[in-house]
Homo-oligomer: A and B are copies of this chain.
Amino acid sequence: MTQLPDSIEDSVISAILGGRLRPGTRLGEAKLAEVYGVSRTRVREAMMRLETRGIVHVSARRGWFVVEPSATEARAAFQARRVIETGMLRDLHTLPGDAVAHLRAHVEEEREALHTGHVGSRTCLLGDFHIHLAHAFGNAFLTDILRDLTARTTLVSMLYQSDQDAAASSDDHAGIVTLLADGDYAGAARLMDEHIRRVEDGLDLAAAPDPLAGLREILSPGAPA
């Protein structure tokens, strides 16, 4: 496999997970090519791959944009995650020996990020928990699928979630890990279902995506004239 296009993809995705790239942001081929020091060809490859994964989309002869999930898509993305993650836990019968320890350590990281308050790494870690869980389950396909779905739900949260209750999410994660440690996989599945539903219900899907987000930032008080 080529090396650099993958790196562009990962770079974009981690920027989304970290909240540095918002829905609707334009990704110009020329600009990206300069940033990564490659030609447009490679950038286009990466963009088309990301498009297939549902992370960006192209508007003909206008450019590439980070997707802005509609209310319908937002619901569907969370539902998909719920179906897959609970299905995974329900199918679970054994877990690798070190999995619980890893997950516990991860939750501990979340806790720290909550206190230090860095919103980017916090969001990123909260999403990563689910990916790590999928990894522990041991199915590479499901892990990849959930990675992309998590990126999507992160974008959804940026659009529709006014105040992300990160502490509650982290508590849910901790509870899930505890149940897993006890071998209560059905219980973990139930809690996961509640957990994702809770996040989903916290969304304000009536809030239309704000096409002026970029402008607003620039015009906010304190910005240079």
> Which residues does A use to contact B, with CB under 8 Å?
1, 45, 48-49, 51-54, 58, 73, 76-77, 79-80, 82-84, 86-88, 90-91, 139-142, 145, 149, 152
Listed from nearest, the 5 A-B pairs whose CB atoms lie closest are A87-B87, A83-B87, A80-B141, A52-B52, A49-B52
Cβ contact within 8 Å between A139 and B80: yes
Residue of B nearest to A75 (CB): B139
A-B contact list, 23 entries, CB within 8 Å: A1-B58, A48-B48, A48-B49, A49-B49, A52-B52, A54-B141, A73-B140, A76-B139, A76-B140, A76-B141, A76-B142, A80-B139, A80-B141, A80-B142, A82-B91, A83-B84, A83-B87, A84-B84, A86-B87, A86-B90, A87-B88, A87-B90, A141-B149
Contact of A48 among B45, B76, B140 (CB under 8 A): B45
Indicate the member of A51, A80, A88, A149 with the most B CB atoms within 10 Å.
Answer: A80
Residue of B nearest to A72 (CB): B140
Cβ contact within 8 Å between B91 and A83: yes
Cβ contact within 8 Å between A141 and B52: no
Give Cα A140 to B86, complex, Å: 18
Residues of chain B within 8 A of A73, CB atoms compared = 140
Cβ contact within 8 Å between A145 and B49: no
A94 to chain B, nearest CB (A): 14
Residue of B nearest to A85 (CB): B87
Residues of chain B within 8 A of A140, CB atoms compared = 73, 76
Cβ contact within 8 Å between B139 and A83: yes
